[in-house]
Amino acid sequence: MDEKKVDAVTGWKKPVSRKDLQRFLGFANFYRRFIRNFSLVAAPLTTMLRGGHKKLVWNLAAEQAFDKLKTLFTSAPMLKHPDPSLPFIVEVDASDSGVGAVLSQRQGNPAKLFPCAYFFLSPTECNYDVGNRELLAIKLALEEWRHWLEGAHHPFIVLTDHRNLEYLRTAKRLNSRQARWALFFSRFCFTITYRPGSKNGKADALSRLFEKEKTQSDPQTILNPSCILAPIQWDIEEDIRQASRSEPTPHNCPANRVFVPESCRDRLIRWAHTSLATGHPGTARTYHLLGERYWWPRMEPEIHAFIQSCSLCARIKSPRSLPAGKLEPLPIPLRPWSHLSIDFLTDLPPSQTFTTILVVIDRFSKACKLVPFTTIPTAFQTAEALFTHVFRNFGIPEDIVSDRGPQFTSSVWKAFMDKLGITVSLTSGHHPEANGQVERLNQEIGRLLRHYCHDQQGEWSHFLPWAEYSQNSLRSSSTGLTPFQCVLGYQPPLFPWNAERTDAPAVDDWFTHSERAWEQTHARLGLAVRRQKAQADRHRGETPLFNPGDRVWLSTRDLKLRLPCCKLSPQFVGPFRILQRINNVTYKLLLPRNYRVSPSFHVSLLRPVIPGPLDDASPLSSPPPALDIDGSPAYKVNTIVDSRRRRGHIQYLVDWEGYGPEERSWVSTSDILDPSLITDFHSRRPERPAPRPRGRPPGRTLGAPGVARREKGSVTPVALHL
């Protein structure tokens, strides 16, 4: 006899509870007629079930009866080889932890028992729903006895206590797993028949053989040992009661509110504004939160002043008011081509190798000059182009306004302008509105070129002279004249003109006409400037007045911050001290040397620091010097912000101590000398890319903790964690 065929019975473990014993005897009762004197053999076991819910006491007689029954189940008179000429019966059942199956044949009456089988369920299979577990039981039973059931002479019956499986062969929708099993079932000829669970005891008992072992798992710790459980204590209420003894409640305090003495107000507002449950709300919400329970005189103004001083709100919250600073127009010129504005129109598609346009506009007549370049020109090339295309035709101007591009801040440009006696005016940092005329002209040039060559973009350089001619031929809304009329004194014809010849006008009349045109242009420019200022000021707030030494926050709108997510980056950085008031709307700030940006900013990019209880920000000073580790510069690290994988290697975004967020940089793992920084980061951010585990590289020496290396001007700290 093959021991594997009857292992499900011989391996049945000793019952340890009344339920286990009832399950075993229920299984045995199905085959009692095959065992001589079954009732006498099982008497010690059945006696133990009498007397209600007594505790199961296992004795020697019960042990002998249990072992003898298992032996009789598997002895030759009990089990026999199947007869291929008779139909088979497969009984299956599934529990939460296992699957049981019994194979039998009806040879006369009753059926004869053949091998029994049980299967453990994997953790994934335990997650199947009831229907899939019962279907899995059929699959495992057919796999176990495939050599008897596949190609049997008669269709066999599969008995299950799950009625829905009777309709398996007619189901219209099967998931991928069920479809694979159905393909396996097609190799067999069988019928699934429903049997109530109360009559399916044999397979049910086998499926629950080891259920107790599965459910009785070792107790697991739910709370981390590092967690501290302590009652929540609200000591502010007690402080208010103690302070109320020396400061009685005023008579005008509402009856349903608690009066807060002056000594407790700052602490209460700080809790309501800065706690994690509130998240730094504004004045109205903080007042509503506290006003439902507390009261004191001038409560809302005090809350407003308190919140205005919050340095975290000043850095994080976006401004909701109008941009500060009224419009400050540039001086109105007195003649054409005396005051210019210049800029570059870049990133154009190559056209005859040209990709850039130098745009020059006369702020008096609104006339323009467009000069193409193959690349963004240098300071010398820009000056040479101005002399060739502008100065030699219209004379040397008095003033040129430009942005702070490298061409216009270089020593070559300044020396060239000084030699010609031209004043250089640079716009404030990140405020292109200061050079708005040329910025608006850039938009018009782009519009014209799109109309000319929208279907042949590589030919835009051929249409550039026409764009310049068109711009100089159209009337300006500011002057009421075309640029040609203002500069030349007449309008070049746009259409064929066949008028009769006339005598040339007198020289005096020509000069008089030109002077009159310039005077009219100057007057109309003044009206246009006043109109534009009134229109722009409707969308701007009052200009705040700062004095040298005042502290301000600087907007990060145009600063390049290295952060994992721009949406969560601070709106302002600082604070910084004001060094100089350049004009009504522009200030020069004291910035750290590592910022590498122009220190002049428009007032709309500044936010004042409001002194108060929550003002814990001090002006940023010069960054700390580098450390020397093994002859290389190293810098202290605040924290690791993010990680990424580049070319198979891990890089970390590091926030340096003493440097702003715009100086964060990506460094390789080898540059971080303190391994605890990497460990702490991945414990906080386990979802981010991490190094693959391997041994320490040979020859690696550890530096000071919390330090990182720096390479050629870019901050590359060797992580130093102090």
For the stretch 250-292, pLDDT in tens is: 888 888 888 888 888 888 888 888 887 777 888 888 888 888 8
> Does the domain spanning 627-691+702-720 belong to CATH 2.40.50.40?
yes
* DSSP H or E stretch at residue 411: helix 411-420
**Integer Rg of the chain from CA:** 45
| Mean pLDDT value of segment 60-70 | 81
Are 3-213 and 627-691+702-720 equal in CATH topology?
no
Given a contact cutoff of 8 angstroms between Cβ atoms, the answer to whether 366 and 332 are in contact is no
**pLDDT at res. 529:** 66
Q: Would you tell me how many other CB atoms lie within 10 Å of the CB of residue 702?
A: 9
Distance in angstroms (rounded) separating the CA atoms of residues 452 and 463? 7
Say if residue 410's pLDDT is above 80.
yes
In the chain, how many H helices and how many E strands?
A: 25, 23
SS3 441: helix
* DSSP H or E stretch at residue 92: strand 88-94
Let me know the angle formed at the C-alpha of 469 by 464 and 470, rounded to the nearest 5 degrees: 95
Comparing CA positions, the residue from 622, 559, 617 lying closest to residue 590 is 622
Say if residue 154's pLDDT is above 70.
yes
Name the residue ranges covered by the structural domains of the chain: 3-213, 235-308, 339-488, 551-608, 627-691+702-720
Q: Which residues contact 197 (CB under 8 A, 6 or more apart)?
A: 93, 161, 204
Mean pLDDT, rounded, of the chain:
75
pLDDT (tens digit, 9 = 90+) per residue, 632-674? 677 778 888 888 888 888 888 888 777 767 677 888 888 887 7
pLDDT (tens digit, 9 = 90+) per residue, 674-710? 788 888 888 888 888 888 765 544 444 334 444 454 4
Look up tokens 């031929």; give the residue.
473
Max CA distance (Å), the chain: 147
Distance in angstroms (rounded) separating the CA atoms of residues 427 and 437? 12
In 138-246, DSSP assigns E strands to 156-160, 190-194
- Going by pLDDT thresholds of 50, 70 and 90, the confidence category of residue 722 is very low
Say if residue 712's pLDDT is above 50.
no
Distance in angstroms (rounded) separating the CA atoms of residues 713 and 627? 14
Look up tokens 């534009």; give the residue.
532
The type of residue at 292 is: E
Distance in angstroms (rounded) separating the CA atoms of residues 613 and 306? 6
Distance in angstroms (rounded) separating the CA atoms of residues 530 and 329? 9
* DSSP H or E stretch at residue 601: strand 600-602
691-700, long-range: CB within 8 Å, 24+ apart, which pairs? Answer: 691/650, 697/670, 700/670
- Cis amide leading into 297 (omega within 30): no
Top-confidence range, 396-410, 482-496, 572-586:
396-410
pLDDT-above-70 percentage for the chain: 71
SS3 135: helix
Look up tokens 């014993």; give the residue.
21
**pLDDT at res. 675:** 80
Given a contact cutoff of 8 angstroms between Cβ atoms, the answer to whether 107 and 86 are in contact is yes
**pLDDT at res. 499:** 45
SS3 374: coil
For the chain, the 3-state helix, strand and coil shares in percent, each to the nearest 5, are 40, 20, 40
Task: Spell out the CATH class of 551-608.
Answer: mainly beta
**pLDDT at res. 553:** 82
Buried b or exposed e, range 79-110, using 16+ CB within 10 angstroms: beebeeebebbbbbbbbebbbbbbbbbeeeee
- Going by pLDDT thresholds of 50, 70 and 90, the confidence category of residue 373 is very high
Distance in angstroms (rounded) separating the CA atoms of residues 26 and 33? 13
Burial of 493 (0-12, 13-18, 19+ CB in 10 A): exposed
Query: CA-CA-CA-CA torsion for 634, 637, 643, 646, nearest 10 degrees?
Result: -10
Alpha helices in 292-399 (DSSP H): 299-308, 311-316, 379-386, 392-394
CATH of domain 3-213: 3.30.420.10
Let me know the angle formed at the C-alpha of 100 by 97 and 101, rounded to the nearest 5 degrees: 160
- Going by pLDDT thresholds of 50, 70 and 90, the confidence category of residue 718 is very low
Q: Is the dihedral of CA 562, 565, 566, 568 positive or negative?
A: negative
**pLDDT at res. 687:** 83
**pLDDT at res. 696:** 47
State which CATH number among 3.30.300, 2.60.40, 1.10.340, 3.30.70 fits the domain covering 235-308.
1.10.340
Given a contact cutoff of 8 angstroms between Cβ atoms, the answer to whether 373 and 461 are in contact is no
Distance in angstroms (rounded) separating the CA atoms of residues 703 and 687? 28
Q: Which residues contact 253 (CB under 8 A, 6 or more apart)?
A: 259, 295
State which CATH number among 3.40.225.10, 3.90.550.10, 3.40.50.300, 3.30.420.10 fits the domain covering 339-488.
3.30.420.10
- Going by pLDDT thresholds of 50, 70 and 90, the confidence category of residue 318 is confident
* DSSP H or E stretch at residue 203: helix 201-207
**pLDDT at res. 513:** 57
